[in-house]
Amino acid sequence: MKLTLEGIRSERAAFEAAGYALPAFDYETVKKNTYERPTWIHFGAGNIFRAFQCNVVQNLLNAGILDTGLVAAEGYDYEIIEKSNRPHDNLTILATLKANNTVEKTVVGSIMESLILDSSNAKEYDRLKEIFANPSLQMVSFTITEKGYATANASGEIFPAIAADFAKGPACPDSYLGKVVSLLYHRFVNGALPIAMVSMDNCSHNGDKLYAAVSAFANAWCANGLADKAFLDYINDKSKVSFPWSMIDKITPRPDAKVEAMLAADGIEELEPVITSKNTYIAPFVNAEECEYLVIEDAFPNGKSAWDKGGIIFTDRETVDKVEKMKVCTCLNPLHTTLAVYGCLLGYTLISDEMKNPVLKKMVETIGYKEGLPVVVDPGILDPKEFIDAVVNVRIPNPFMPDTPQRIATDTSQKLAIRFGETIKAYEARADLKSSDLKLIPLVFAGWLRYLMAIDDAGNAFVPSSDPLLEEAGKYVAEYELSAAPKDLSKLDALLTNEKIFGVDLVAIGMADTVKNYFAELSCGVGAIAKTLEKYVML
């Protein structure tokens, strides 16, 4: 069986007999409608988009609620479109890996057109311009990662490619963002048509990051006389162009070899993943968990289709912010980081396996329910306790989800402040709570210090995941060894005062000593980590 339009038409019975749900709408009619009056174009044709947004739209097409599909565009790695989307007629197999050991298999066919965001390719770029000039277009969305919106480095220096596009103007930019803004400018010159520009990347206040990037280009082009000065008014007029905030949550790890083997055993051909010249790992299938959340600020100046009937939640900006804080500061991300740090130290290679360890399981439950919930931000539209229930009982323990502590441990220094520091601040601000009552959050900090030593609990060296502060922070633990001998822990104070890392000055609030004492116990030789966790978690 081949994953192509002809394949699912000619071998429909075989697909269905193998347990695959197939598109149940009139494909040619939807394709024609989408070409003539597109409503949603998405940039960043990666795994979460194919597993989540595409499936939402397919369900709505199957139900007859929508009559237009999606347009997918890729501006970083063109080979995703050339070597994955188009050879399979934009079809994807979604393997939903459920915690009850079952797999739901769906052929998702809601992408009606896939395009390459290349300003030097006249055919591709002209079609994108046509789409952006179409009054029917309601939403332009993005999953291009947080760093995809950056126009400058940490020192504020404009990236060379961005600076070059600032000087060239909207005619033929080369940078990803420059090309997107040039298409928005094309919509402006063709009637200043309204549009919602929606970042769906997993980062705080993502709409603001997208706006900042668009605004940087608009200001530069207008200042240099390369664009109509009214373009600035256009992007700053919320009745014309909006930049809604959103919160997205769905775990979609890299396509897994076990899933590939399972699909191949069903008789699906040509499933081999492609590693592009830019080292993108892409496959004609995507494996994902069953839980999913997408909450978007309801700011759509050109109206919106009935996407909410597929599970997308539209609400006000304040509520989106609360949902994000609930997830990032309490109900998911802190638990993931806890398991990432200690999973690496204890030699785990799967997050799900960590939840079989009663000590680690109790640790994340305590951090979530006991230490986090008293100060959780409750958004009202999602119940925080039920969210944690799903995380600890369904999502993280899912044995089919091939997610690793090593992946999640990436950039930990950038995550601690928001994932734990906000809870500490809330305790400090409350008269009825004391940050000294927090016992396991300091143990996570101490675990990260121990992680920086790059030696696991068996005494073996390991390679820490990438982190911009890995080398700098590592200097503070460089002199420490696995030993029961007393240590001068005062050298750690300079690191523990760093509010950018921990969200608060741990020395100033009196938590540093707790962290240092934990660190000393974690470093008392081989096996000390497991012993220390048992001692403090299983009280």
Tokens of 43: 């940039």
Give the tens place of pLDDT for each residue, 333-392. Answer: 999 999 999 999 999 999 999 999 999 999 999 999 999 999 999 999 999 999 999 999
**What whole-number distance in Å separates Cα of residue 109 and Cα of residue 4?**
10
36-84 pLDDT, tens per residue? 999 999 999 889 999 999 999 999 999 999 999 999 999 888 989 998 8
301 within 8 A of 283, measured Cβ to Cβ: no
Nearest CA-CA partner of 177 in 26, 259, 321, 76: 76
pLDDT at 395: 92
Cα of 472 vs its chain's centroid, Å: 26
Structure confidence at residue 401 as a pLDDT band (50, 70, 90): confident
Which whole number is the average pLDDT over 464-468? 95
Measured distance CA(456)–CA(463) in Å, rounded: 10
CA–CA distance, 475 with 502 (Å, rounded to integer): 17
Q: What is the helix (H) or strand (E) element at residue 365, kind and residue range? A: helix 358-365
pTM of the model: 0.88
Residue 361's CB: how many other CB atoms inside 10 A?
17
DSSP letter at 34 equals: H
pLDDT over 90, % of the chain? 87
Give burial (CB, 10 Å; 0-12/13-18/19+) of 104. middle
Averaged pLDDT for residues 501-505: 97
The string of pLDDT tens digits covering residues 196-241 is 999 999 888 999 999 999 999 999 999 999 999 999 999 999 999 9
Strands 293-297, 246-249: pairing kind:
antiparallel
Determine contact, residues 329/379, Cβ cutoff 8 Å: no
pLDDT band at 486 (very low <50, low <70, confident <90, very high): low
Nearest to 254 by CA among 234, 227, 270, 275: 275
- Contact 416/489 with Cβ under 8 angstroms? no
Count other C-beta atoms under 10 Å from residue 256's C-beta: 20
Average model confidence (pLDDT) across the chain:
95
Q: What is the mean pLDDT of residues 155-164?
A: 93
pLDDT-derived band at 423 (thresholds 50, 70, 90) equals very high
Please state, in angstroms and rounded to a whole number, the distance separating the CA atoms of residues 130 and 193: 13
For 48, 408, 410, 510, the CA distances from 405, given in Å and listed in that order, are: 19, 5, 9, 30
The residue among 422, 341, 329, 423 whose CA lies nearest residue 384 is: 329
Range 138-165 average pLDDT: 92
The pLDDT assigned to 70 comes to: 98
Average the pLDDT over 98-126 and give the result. 93
pLDDT at 91 over 80: yes
Provide the residue type at 288 as one letter: A
Mean pLDDT of 111-139: 97
pLDDT of the residue at 36 = 98
Paired strand residues for 70: 111
* 145 pLDDT tier (thresholds 50, 70, 90): confident
